[in-house]
Amino acid sequence: IIDNLSDLEKVAVLGHGDGYGTVYKVCHKKSSSIYALKVLRFDNNAASGVLQQAAREAEILKLVDSPYVIRCHGVFDSGAFMSADHNNEGGGDLCFVMEYMEGGSLHDVLRARQRLPENVISGMAKRVLEGLHYLHGMQIVHRDIKPSNLLINSRGQVKIADFGVSHLVAGALEVCDSYMGTYAYMSPERFDPERWGGDNAADGFAGDVWSLGLVVLQCHMGRFPLVGPGQKPDWATLMCVICFGERLEMPETASPELRSFIWRCLEKDWRKRATVDELLHHPFVNTTCCVSTDHELVNFVLPAD
Ligand code: ATP
Ligand code: MG
């Protein structure tokens, strides 16, 4: 249990988020254990009440306990961590102490390897589905499934990161900024609730399935699928493709199982889209010979040098 930010020492910067966050590798001085610390910086205009509320809500993150979801060991609402080497007066930070994942994110893996083989994709997809199954069972919608939020450790475990966080952050930032979050992996019903919403889309579980389908397709194609090669996914283009475009053609290079899996995820009407439970029984993640083991995942992601 981490009860004080001052017990942590920065070791390295692991990455930056979409503008508001930085993730550090940190060492817990008393136990020498390594953690990841996500620091979300709010500017001076962020009302402190909003921050406190966010910190309170974030307490539920600490209740989440699944081998497929990143553990959160503490949430702190403080500027203390940054002020040591940043002149961070006023404003506030929301700090999340998380388990450290040595293999980094799927985003990093894709950058290094481009396309992934199907056994690795199905191994990842299966583990992410287990994570979503757990979160949805706790009535938590992730809302931000994307490659940088899927992390891998040296045991070959794949875990979902940043659930709920994006929601908390968006809530807090609305006060001081017109925060959009990431929309590249957003489902039609979240993008355009009026056209695609219908009665119960607001609960959002189906949105996580859409995002997973897009990530899986990206792993196969080696690039973000909804825009042309090298093109940056801007808001207007995505709006057109996601909400008004034809359903995507499934790549011929993929196996029939993979094609069927992606097809069921990228169903535009959330009522007809596959559920997590349906996908957990899908052949793509259940053909023993083709789903990578933890060991195979590690060897792929962290090859011995
Ligand atoms: P968002 O803020 O929307 O989640 P993001 O996922 O791109 O965007 P961060 O969550 O700040 O940004 O993460 C940035 C990078 O830090 C990730 O791509 C990953 O490489 C690394 N990272 C994040 N969490 C951990 C962790 N627990 N262990 C190891 N590396 C991590
Ligand atoms: Mg993230």
pLDDT tens per residue across span 34-62:
999 988 776 655 556 666 666 666 777 77
Contact partners, residue 28, CB within 8 Å, separation at least 6: 2, 7, 8, 34, 35
Nearest to 107 by CA among 189, 207, 185: 185
pLDDT (0 to 100) of residue 300:
85
Do the interacting molecules here have an ipTM over 0.90? Answer: yes
Ligand 1 atom at minimum distance from 146 CA: 6
pLDDT (0 to 100) of residue 178:
41
Kind and range of the H or E element at 7?
none
The single residue of 93, 144, 162, 208 carrying the catalytic annotation is: 144
pLDDT (0 to 100) of residue 141:
84
Kind and range of the H or E element at 92?
strand 92-99
Q: Quick check: 16 pLDDT over 50?
A: yes
Mutation probe of ligand 1 site: the residue of 105, 146, 182 with most atoms within 8 A of C-beta? 105
Highest mean pLDDT among 186-195, 268-277, 293-302: 268-277
Q: Quick check: 173 pLDDT over 70?
A: no
Q: How far is the centre of ligand 1, averaged over its atoms, from the C-alpha of 3 (Å)? A: 22
pLDDT (0 to 100) of residue 192:
80
Q: How far is the centre of ligand 2, averaged over its atoms, from the C-alpha of 151 (Å)? A: 9
Mean pLDDT value of segment 176-180: 44
Quick one: tokens of 180? 């959009």
144 is catalytic: yes
Report the length, in residues, of the chain.
305
pLDDT (0 to 100) of residue 53:
61
Angle, CA of 170, 53 and 45, to the nearest 5°:
60
* CA 166 to each of CA 7, 77, 226, 233: distance values in angstroms, whole numbers, following the listed order: 26, 16, 22, 19
How far is it, in rounded angstroms, from Cα 75 to Cα 93?
10
* Between residues 26 and 40, the one the model is more confident about: 26
Q: How far is the centre of ligand 2, averaged over its atoms, from the C-alpha of 180 (Å)? A: 15
Q: How far is the centre of ligand 1, averaged over its atoms, from the C-alpha of 140 (Å)? A: 20
Ligand 1 atom at minimum distance from 149 CA: 6
Highest mean pLDDT among 91-95, 242-246, 281-285: 281-285
* DSSP H helices in the chain: 48-58, 80-83, 106-113, 118-137, 165-173, 188-191, 193-196, 205-221, 235-239, 256-265, 276-280, 294-301
From the CA of 16, which ligand is nearest? 1
Q: How confident is the model at residue 131 (pLDDT cuts 50, 70, 90)?
A: very high
How far is it, in rounded angstroms, from Cα 294 to Cα 21?
30
Q: Whose CA is nearest to atom 31 of ligand 1?
A: 104
Mutation probe of ligand 1 site: the residue of 2, 10, 11, 14 with most atoms within 8 A of C-beta? 14
Hey, how many other C-beta atoms are within 10 angstroms of the C-beta on 24? 19
pLDDT (0 to 100) of residue 198:
62
